[in-house]
Structure 1
Amino acid sequence: MNERPPGQPSVTVRHEPVQARAAQRVEALLDAAAAVVVEHGIEHLTTALVAERAGASIGTVYRYFPDRVAVLVALAERNLERLRHALARVLAEPHETWTDATDAVIGAMVDTFREVPSFRSLRTGEGLDLGPQAREQVAPQFAALMADYVSGRWGIELDDEQHEALVLAVGGLDALVTYAFLHDPHGDPRYLALGRVCAMQHLVVAFGEPVPAAETAPEA
């Protein structure tokens, strides 16, 4: 396969797309990369396969991505953004209790695994072996989203112990949801249910017993 020799650590995109046409080209290349990952697996992805699947020249791929690792990193970044947007969307709703909010978050995670090509295999790239450029852990990022939500919705402020419980809840949930999709494209319901149970145990420590938001008192 025509791969460039390893050199400096790969960057996500070689040329930042500043025009709509370039941005669309990058999206098309990432769509092709996702299809290759789904069909052949991460370990078999090459820039040549991406070019072939996208109907583009290998030079076009190299214009934006210096090697296969850069393609995977960019695809992982896109997956992360899609998951982040899915969670932000459900957390924009005024859920009655934090358990309702948690169920909405779990639903968004499951939908992302089911609907985003390559997510089952690549997820957000934490498993990529990038040496010193290890991917940032995702659990603390999404724990921060949950913490902001419960603070704004119910005025719950977390101390260090509560925050640690929240991070463990999110990380454990992510691990079990990931395992649920390891051999089942729809998600093994046993592990999805176990993920919810484990998350709820830690979230009670983080947030306390779920109490609905107080209704606004009617004007006299």
Structure 2
Amino acid sequence: MIEEILVGAIEVPNSAASLRVEPSQERSVARIDALLDAAAAVVDEVGFDRLTTAQVAEESGASIGTVYRYFPDRIALLVALRDRAVRRYRLMASDDIERTSPSTWQGAIERFAETFATMFRTEPGFRIMRFEDVRGVEESGATPDHVGEFAVRVAEVLVSTYGFTPSDELVFHLDIAAQMTESLIERAYLRNADGDRRTLSEARVVATAYLEKYYD
């Protein structure tokens, strides 16, 4: 139920429009995953703004031609890596909510924040989640609003599980709460490779403190 709401029909990188070719065999799918794993390693080492297709080829042990077979440019690589990170976060968040079954909506919101912090610490290349916020990184086309879209899905969880009334205002407040929480978590890991504990502690409660102004 929760996974169906939170993950829904998010496209996995293997079928994203940014791919040059559609992988039709298991070997191709595995190769794309290996390229994205390599891209994640490069992002952690030098940052997404300095990633190049040549670095990904070297890190993965593939030829530059193999990289270009699936990804027309570095932006396509970044988009695919970002989409994979989004999906993995939502899968982990839904598993966590279903496993812990928070008794209150405040508990659920804190679990979402905790999962995001855990992914930032353990998922290679997870800092890619916010790469579209950097001006000029998207060279063409509309920038997807993953945080806003996730707020819509979290609103559905609160409505179906905790008796909230659906409204545009609920989605708006969840969007603001998510932006604040994610920014604090990102800042915590910029300050300290293991995450600044005080900042992470505040990130876990800032969303509920904000939302309680409207829904307590």
TM-score (norm. length: structure 1): 0.81
Residue 143 (structure 2) aligns with: 135
Equivalences for residues 6-21 of structure 1 within 5 A: 12-21=18-27
Residue 188 (structure 2) aligns with: 180
Residue 104 (structure 2) aligns with: 97
Q: RMSD value over aligned CA atoms?
A: 1.9
Would you say 1:153 and 2:151 are equivalent positions?
no
Task: Quote the offset at 1:116 in angstroms.
Answer: 0.8
Would you say 1:191 and 2:210 are equivalent positions?
no
Task: Quote the offset at 1:134 in angstroms.
Answer: 4.2
Paired residue type of 2:153: L
Deviation digits for residues 124-159 of structure 1, max 9, x if unmatched?
A: 432352144243222222222321112111221133
Paired residue type of 1:126: E
Would you say 1:171 and 2:179 are equivalent positions?
yes
Q: Which deviates more, 158-167 or 83-92?
A: 158-167
Residue 214 (structure 1) aligns with: none
Number of aligned residue pairs: 197
CA contact (8 A) 2:18 2:76 kept: yes
Deviation digits for residues 59-113 of structure 1, max 9, x if unmatched?
A: 1111001112211111111111111212222233432111211221111101110
Q: Which whole-Å CA distance do the structure 2 matches of 1:124 and 1:78 have between them?
A: 13
User: What stretches of structure 1 of length at least 5 have no aligned partner?
Assistant: 1-10, 210-220
Paired residue type of 1:143: A
Q: Which whole-Å CA distance do the structure 2 matches of 1:35 and 1:21 have between them?
A: 21
Q: Which whole-Å CA distance do the structure 1 matches of 2:41 and 2:116 have between them?
A: 20
Paired residue type of 1:112: M
User: What stretches of structure 2 of length at least 5 have no aligned partner?
Assistant: 1-16
Q: Which whole-Å CA distance do the structure 1 matches of 2:170 and 2:57 have between them?
A: 48
Would you say 1:34 and 2:18 are equivalent positions?
no
Would you say 1:203 and 2:211 are equivalent positions?
yes
Q: Which has the larger radius of gyration?
A: 1
CA contact (8 A) 2:35 2:67 kept: yes
Provide the secondary structure at the position in 1 that maps to 2:98.
Answer: coil
CA contact (8 A) 2:156 2:166 kept: no
Percent identity, aligned pairs only, is 39
Task: Quote the offset at 1:192 in angstroms.
Answer: 1.8
Residue 125 (structure 2) aligns with: 118
TM-score (norm. length: structure 2): 0.83
* Higher RCO by CA contacts (8 Å cutoff, separation 6 or greater): 2
CA contact (8 A) 1:169 1:198 kept: yes
Would you say 1:108 and 2:85 are equivalent positions?
no
